[in-house]
């Protein structure tokens, strides 16, 4: 059906709406694709809905291509399954909760791991039923603290979420790779530049995980990449540890008076004064900084942890949060922050500014075996044989030449420091640089966490019950519309990739002559008959200037003007992206656009 | 894509699930179309989703055919628009309410009148923009006290809701008729028998309204119909009033002692004893029963109303509720019930068992002009000149021959009595009979209620601001799936109309020979290549009996068996609805099914 602008439910806006900050948000509002209903909650107008449906359809086709089957879960769900997995509590303020008239607890689902798991448990019972991949395209709800950038971070939004179910790890790996391939094809068909980056699984549990980031300056996610092709979420970057050092000939550590040196800078100055080194001045990198952190556990308890890192590095709390899980007594969502005065008061052994692991293995202070009993984790750069200037656990005193592995130990290593531009990529592909992106998709090897919690077991080849292993795979559908708008616009408006454009061609009738409108109408009908989708600006009393501005704002790939050239049998065809225009014989127009559209 | 039963996410159930009562609910569960997630909240499995999408697509096509444009609103909405129209309060326990992390109030929308009105206000400003019809197909939420019958009355369900916007009443009538036509076509294409019945607008406000009822014994809605084609919701039936009677020669009323006659039966007995009538014995129809009712107003106040009706009739509180609105001081949702002892105590003039309008116009007791000041409404059968035995407002006394219009008046008439089988249809098409149905659609002329409340005004032809007039039109989409299942099944399973069936043909490979599976597979591919949708039961180790039961349970219109006949080049084609089977040459199968499917 030809979309006639005389009746299409659309009003374009000349001015940028005050509510919008980023380009995609401004343009989607101005061009009449969406309207705001509440913070982070949007209404889809006819043009927006067309783009959204095309994005969904591409996703459906690629899901079908890997044999994934579509189902549809409710958005309103009972509390119970989310209690079993503890996510009812873990989500904190991040989800919408409500009660029904009988007082029963419900939530608006942020993701559906539990429900998918229970559904498969309901239907399936044998390894012969597997592998299975099922998915839905559905409204999700998150009570974001700061909904922002229009559709980029909303509170009601559409996601495609799939889940794979396999009897063993090889099966999971195959399902994961199938989804990975489908995701790459989806984003390619959408025309959305994507970098798959290694990620940590975070609150979702599980092991292997990749994010599909769309690089853009307005992205909320930072990641790092190397010229050689490595890319990772900052949380997931692993440090290349230096080689271990033979410490058999290393001199013994010695404690020196270093009055008034509570900071790394004052310590380095003091060291260069009282114990200068022949190999060149001491730097912050020679010191071992021991940072006291407080971890808020899912149980409500607060655990104190000390992290040791080279003094020239800053702590990255998010990286610690993402990686400390394996050292904690309980799984689930945690928070990590610097310990406060109250925390420190409870641990008299910690002398602020002079904290150290202890002067010898027998006199350990930090570490679960040390006198403090506090968990002690170190950055991977602290390798056996490395020698450090660090606190002597006495005010005004530091120990010099304290050798890792000889004089002190630790409970484990952790990625604790900020990744810096210039750090080496872990795969040896060169130095890292920082970049920003929008998370468009995320694939996880969930493993057996949910299946275990909800008792999804099937009979294996030997007739024994085995816990199923799962994968979880998400694509932000409404977010994809925003990302496409963000990356495909100029100062005049949107420039949709053809695969998702609300129409193939936007016909503008320029002038007032009846013959112009008749010719434009006929072209619209001919295009439609040829299988092309058409917007036709048939508004009789609107100026050519306004019509062209609207066409450029709306952003259909091909703009066709029917006007003065008609007397010579010609129309003007303009490529929205390049701005290039050509005069074409009316009789050639359909064929020309068909070939432009690759049909 | 051929749906292979060896991998389709489906498990059929042999037994009826305990949770289900009605046939559609049992069969949709047993045949693996849906699963229950919570009371009144369902998950759609692949087969169910296919049926649902086909229903939606038929609706979309018919909406497009009347120029209605699709939009999509959020389900999670802020309170404010619903406060302006007072529906935030009026809905009572019937909706789901929640708060976000900042404490702001939200609801899960039960319908979207307010949002549609505000959206049009946002975009449009002139009569030239109208008429407009916009719609969505969307999840709705109602916190039903008793969700029942599976998809028939759910708490999360899908509706198509449209709204029309016109500058004047003629426009509204045209939009209403266009929707009416589209609805009739939708239900015809769905294969769903529908009776449009006159309805009252109820809580939605507005005037003209029709329900599209699907007649079925399990329906929750009662309606009446005549052999001559009249059909109406009971609330909407209007009584054919008898002709007025000339009372110029009627004898004067007289008060008689009727001790211990607090009921109609005792009164009739007493009347026949103390004042027998030559024209035959008095009956209950000669008495005027005055019933005291309490109306709970939207404001929280409770108003006492008296309704007068022939003594042989019972009060129908729902009909009163639907029709009393015009006599009340405030609009909105109301409740009507019999007055209780406490209510009656406040009105000493009302003598229980002996209540009457008063003995003369000058000595009126009931009515806003009477000494009681109570609103007095009468059934339309109480016409001027009709003569009644009724209470004399004194214990043990009734008045005989009290003539309406001569001796007593009333504030208005109201449809107050239960409609009985045998009552005349108001259009003279014969006596009424009662029937039950499911409400599949509802169309309303809302008028200006919402536009007024939310200030939706546009410039009219004279450049003046005019309030827009609206229509509201709903179709139960998930409910349609249930109604179709309810009306299309036998004891073996579902029998889908072809327009919504999950596939056109269900191929069953019977036997174990490789050549059978090869031939079945080839047929499946050929059907698919011919544009037909195919389920193929390729399960290698499942018995023919189980395969046929599953095919009949699933209910695809054509079942094709590839088995022993293959050696003679034949397959069996069975019509699921009639059970008729035919042997067809393999080479003719595609053409045969195509023509059966009307392609």
Position A53 in a domain: yes
Q: Tell me if A84 sits within 8 A of A68, measured CB to CB.
A: no
How far apart are alpha carbons B470 and B166 in whole angstroms?
A: 6
Counting one residue from chain A and one from chain B, the pairs whose CB atoms sit within 8 A come to 130
Residue A444, classed as helix, strand or coil, is strand
Report the residue of chain B nearest A12, measured CA to CA: B123
pLDDT of residue B134: 98
Nearest to B71 among A7, A9, A73 (CB): A9
Residue B402 has pLDDT above 90, yes or no: yes
Could you give the percent of chain B with pLDDT greater than 70?
98
Check residues B431 and B207 and name the one with the higher pLDDT.
Answer: B431
Answer yes or no: do B106 and A97 touch at CB < 8 A: no
Which of the residue ranges A188-197, A462-471, B197-206, B452-461 would you say has the lowest mean pLDDT?
B197-206
Choose one of B413, B445, B476: the last residue of a domain: B413
Answer yes or no: do A75 and B74 touch at CB < 8 A: no
Q: Which of chain B's residues have a Cβ under 8 Å away from the Cβ of A49? A: 70-72
How far apart are alpha carbons B114 and B205 in whole angstroms?
A: 13
Position A11 in a domain: no
How far apart are alpha carbons A474 and A443 in whole angstroms?
A: 6
Answer yes or no: do A124 and B11 touch at CB < 8 A: yes
Q: The domain spanning residue B516 has which CATH number? A: 3.40.50.800
Report the residue of chain A nearest B67, measured CA to CA: A7
CA triple A484-A489-A493, angle to 5 deg:
120
pLDDT of residue B19: 82
Answer yes or no: do A143 and B108 touch at CB < 8 A: no
Report the residue of chain B nearest A78, measured CA to CA: B38
Shared-domain flag, residues A385 and A443: no
Contacts with A277 (C-beta within 8 Å, 6 or more apart), sequence order: none
Q: Which of chain A's residues have a Cβ under 8 Å away from the Cβ of B11? A: 123-124
Q: How confident is the model at residue B204 (pLDDT cuts 50, 70, 90)?
A: very low
Shared-domain flag, residues A340 and A265: yes
Answer yes or no: do B9 and A69 touch at CB < 8 A: yes
Query: Whose CA is closest to B130, among B475, B472, B473, B457?
Result: B457
Nearest to A93 among B1, B93, B101 (CB): B101
Residue A467 has pLDDT above 80, yes or no: yes
Q: Which of chain B's residues have a Cβ under 8 Å away from the Cβ of A101? A: 93, 143, 145
Answer yes or no: do B38 and A74 touch at CB < 8 A: yes
pLDDT of residue A21: 86
Answer yes or no: do A64 and B1 touch at CB < 8 A: yes
Q: The domain spanning residue B349 has which CATH number? A: 3.90.960.10
Contacts with A490 (C-beta within 8 Å, 6 or more apart), sequence order: none
Q: How confident is the model at residue B24 (pLDDT cuts 50, 70, 90)?
A: very high
Shared-domain flag, residues B212 and B280: no
Report the residue of chain A nearest B120, measured CA to CA: A9
Answer yes or no: do A70 and B141 touch at CB < 8 A: no
Contacts with B324 (C-beta within 8 Å, 6 or more apart), sequence order: B295, B305, B334, B336, B377, B414
Position B5 in a domain: no
Shared-domain flag, residues B474 and B531: no
Q: How far is A366 from chain B (nearest CA, A)?
A: 40
Residue A464 has pLDDT above 90, yes or no: yes
Residue B205 has pLDDT above 50, yes or no: no
Q: pLDDT tens, A380-394?
A: 999 999 999 999 999
Q: Which of chain A's residues have a Cβ under 8 Å away from the Cβ of B134? A: 9
| Arithmetic mean of pLDDT, B358-369 | 94
Answer yes or no: do A96 and B96 touch at CB < 8 A: no
| Arithmetic mean of pLDDT, B119-140 | 96
Q: pLDDT tens, B443-496?
A: 999 999 899 999 999 999 999 999 999 999 999 999 999 999 999 999 999 999
Shared-domain flag, residues B58 and B153: yes
Residue B406 has pLDDT above 60, yes or no: yes
Report the residue of chain A nearest B141, measured CA to CA: A76
CA atoms within a 13 Å half-sphere pointing along the CA-CB vector of B380: 14
Q: Strands of A14-63 (E only): list them.
A: 34-38, 41-44
How far apart are alpha carbons A462 and A47 in whole angstroms?
A: 55
**Mean pLDDT across chain A, nearest whole number?**
93
Which of the residue ranges A203-212, A543-552, B450-459 would you say has the lowest mean pLDDT?
A203-212
How far apart are alpha carbons A585 and A589 in whole angstroms?
A: 6
Q: How far is A286 from chain B (nearest CA, A)?
A: 46
Shared-domain flag, residues A382 and A465: no
Q: pLDDT tens, B143-161?
A: 988 887 888 888 999 999 9
Q: Which of B72, B114, B116, B160 to mutate to test the interface with A (most CBs of A within 10 A)?
A: B72
Answer yes or no: do B106 and A38 touch at CB < 8 A: yes
Q: How far is B196 from chain A (nearest CA, A)?
A: 30
Answer yes or no: do A37 and B73 touch at CB < 8 A: yes
Q: Tell me if A48 sits within 8 A of A3, measured CB to CB.
A: no
CA atoms within a 13 Å half-sphere pointing along the CA-CB vector of A462: 3
- Count of structural domains within chain A: 3
Q: pLDDT tens, A39-50?
A: 999 999 999 999
Choose one of A459, A486, A513: the last residue of a domain: A486
pLDDT of residue B203: 41
Shared-domain flag, residues A509 and A547: yes
**Mean pLDDT across chain B, nearest whole number?**
93
Residue A204 has pLDDT above 60, yes or no: no
Q: pLDDT tens, A214-240?
A: 999 888 888 899 988 888 888 888 888
Choose one of B382, B413, B444: the last residue of a domain: B413
Answer yes or no: do B108 and A74 touch at CB < 8 A: no
Q: How far is A276 from chain B (nearest CA, A)?
A: 57
Answer yes or no: do A123 and B11 touch at CB < 8 A: yes
Position A541 in a domain: yes
| Arithmetic mean of pLDDT, B253-274 | 92
Q: Reading across the β-sheet that carries B302-310, which strands appear in turn?
A: B335-338, B288-296, B302-310, B375-378, B412-413
Answer yes or no: do A100 and B155 touch at CB < 8 A: yes
Shared-domain flag, residues A161 and A301: no
Specify the pairing of strand A412-413 against strand A375-378: parallel
Q: Which of chain B's residues have a Cβ under 8 Å away from the Cβ of A8? A: 69
Q: The domain spanning residue A455 has which CATH number? A: 3.30.930.10
Q: Which of chain B's residues have a Cβ under 8 Å away from the Cβ of A98? A: 96-98, 108
Nearest to B41 among A43, A69, A74 (CB): A74
Nearest to A101 among B11, B71, B93 (CB): B93
Q: pLDDT tens, B82-93?
A: 988 888 888 888
Position B478 in a domain: yes
B560: which 2 tokens? 């094709």
Nearest to A145 among B9, B52, B101 (CB): B101
Position A4 in a domain: no
Could you give the percent of chain B with pLDDT greater than 90?
79
Position B159 in a domain: yes
A337: which 2 tokens? 């922050």
Shared-domain flag, residues B398 and B442: no
Nearest to A76 among B70, B101, B156 (CB): B156
How far apart are alpha carbons A58 and B104 in whole angstroms?
A: 37
Rg of chain B in Å (alpha carbons): 30
Residue A152 has pLDDT above 60, yes or no: yes
Shared-domain flag, residues B445 and B408: no
Nearest to B96 among A11, A38, A98 (CB): A98
Report the residue of chain B nearest A11, measured CA to CA: B123
Q: Which of A3, A4, A9, A116 to mutate to test the interface with B (most CBs of B within 10 A)?
A: A9
Position B206 in a domain: yes
Report the residue of chain A nearest B123, measured CA to CA: A11
Q: pLDDT tens, B497-512?
A: 999 999 999 999 998 8
Q: Which of chain B's residues have a Cβ under 8 Å away from the Cβ of A78? A: 37-38
Q: Which of chain B's residues have a Cβ under 8 Å away from the Cβ of A77? A: 37-38, 41
Shared-domain flag, residues B217 and B79: yes
Answer yes or no: do B141 and A78 touch at CB < 8 A: no
Q: Tell me if B427 sits within 8 A of B269, measured CB to CB.
A: no
Shared-domain flag, residues B77 and B222: yes
Domain of A523 in residue numbering reads as: 503-596
Q: Which of A13, A36, A37 to mutate to test the interface with B (most CBs of B within 10 A)?
A: A37
How far apart are alpha carbons B266 and B393 in whole angstroms?
A: 17
Q: How far is B142 from chain A (nearest CA, A)?
A: 10
pLDDT of residue B583: 95
């Amino acid at each position: 059906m030809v979309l006639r602008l005389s009746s299409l439910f659309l009003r374009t806006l000349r001015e940028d709406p005050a509510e919008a900050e980023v380009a995609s948000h401004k343009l989607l509002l101005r061009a009449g694709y969406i309207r705001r209903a509440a913070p982070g909650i949007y209404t889809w107008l006819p043009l927006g809905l067309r783009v959204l449906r095309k994005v969904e359809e591409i996703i459906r086709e690629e899901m079908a291509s890997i044999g994934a089957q579509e189902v549809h879960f409710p958005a309103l769900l009972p509390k119970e399954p989310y209690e079993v997995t503890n996510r009812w509590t873990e989500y904190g303020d991040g989800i919408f909760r409500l009660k029904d008239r009988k007082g029963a607890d419900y939530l608006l689902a942020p993701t559906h791991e539990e429900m998918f798991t229970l559904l498969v448990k309901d239907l399936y019972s044998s390894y012969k039923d597997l592998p299975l991949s099922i998915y839905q395209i559905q409204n999700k709800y998150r009570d974001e603290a700061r909904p922002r950038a229009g559709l980029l971070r909303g509170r009601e939004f559409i996601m495609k979420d799939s889940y794979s179910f396999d009897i063993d790890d090889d099966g999971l790996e195959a399902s994961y790779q199938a989804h990975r391939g489908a995701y790459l094809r989806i984003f390619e068909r959408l025309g959305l530049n994507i970098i798959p980056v290694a990620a940590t699984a975070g609150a979702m549990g599980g092991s292997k995980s990749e994010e599909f980031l769309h690089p853009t300056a307005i992205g909320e996610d930072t990641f790092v990449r190397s010229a050689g092709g490595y890319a990772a979420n900052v949380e997931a970057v692993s440090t290349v540890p230096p080689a271990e050092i033979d410490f058999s000939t290393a001199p013994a550590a010695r404690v020196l008076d270093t009055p008034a040196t509570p900071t790394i800078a004052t310590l380095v100055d003091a060291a260069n004064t009282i114990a200068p080194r022949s190999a060149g001045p001491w730097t912050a990198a020679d010191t071992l900084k021991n940072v006291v952190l407080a971890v808020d556990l899912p149980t409500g308890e607060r655990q104190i942890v000390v992290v040791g890192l080279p003094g020239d590095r800053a702590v990255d709390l998010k990286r610690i949060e993402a990686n400390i899980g394996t050292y904690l007594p309980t799984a689930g969502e945690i928070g990590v922050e610097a310990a406060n005065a109250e925390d420190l008061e409870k641990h008299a052994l910690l002398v602020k500014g002079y904290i150290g692991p202890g002067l010898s293995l027998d006199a350990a202070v930090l570490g679960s075996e040390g006198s403090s009993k506090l968990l002690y984790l170190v950055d991977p750069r602290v390798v056996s044989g490395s020698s450090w200037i660090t606190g002597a656990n006495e005010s005004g005193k530091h120990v010099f030449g304290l050798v890792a592995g000889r004089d002190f130990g630790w409970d484990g290593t952790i990625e604790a420091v900020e990744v810096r531009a210039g750090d080496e990529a872990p795969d040896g592909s060169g130095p890292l640089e920082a970049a920003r992106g929008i998370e468009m998709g995320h694939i996880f090897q969930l493993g057996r966490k949910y299946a275990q919690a909800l008792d999804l077991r099937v009979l294996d080849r030997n007739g024994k019950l085995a816990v199923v292993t799962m994968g979880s795979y998400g694509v932000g559908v409404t977010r994809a519309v925003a990302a496409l708008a963000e990356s495909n616009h100029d100062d005049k408006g949107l420039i949709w990739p053809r695969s998702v454009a609300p129409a193939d061609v936007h016909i503008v009738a320029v002038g007032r002559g009846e013959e112009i409108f008749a010719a434009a109408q006929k072209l619209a009908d001919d295009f439609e008959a040829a299988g092309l989708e058409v917007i036709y600006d048939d508004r009789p009393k609107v100026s050519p200037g306004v019509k062209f501005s609207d066409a450029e704002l709306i952003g259909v790939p091909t703009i066709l003007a029917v006007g003065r050239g008609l007397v010579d049998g010609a129309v003007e065809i303009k490529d929205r992206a390049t701005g290039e225009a050509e005069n074409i014989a009316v009789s050639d127009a359909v064929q020309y656009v068909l070939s432009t559209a690759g049909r």
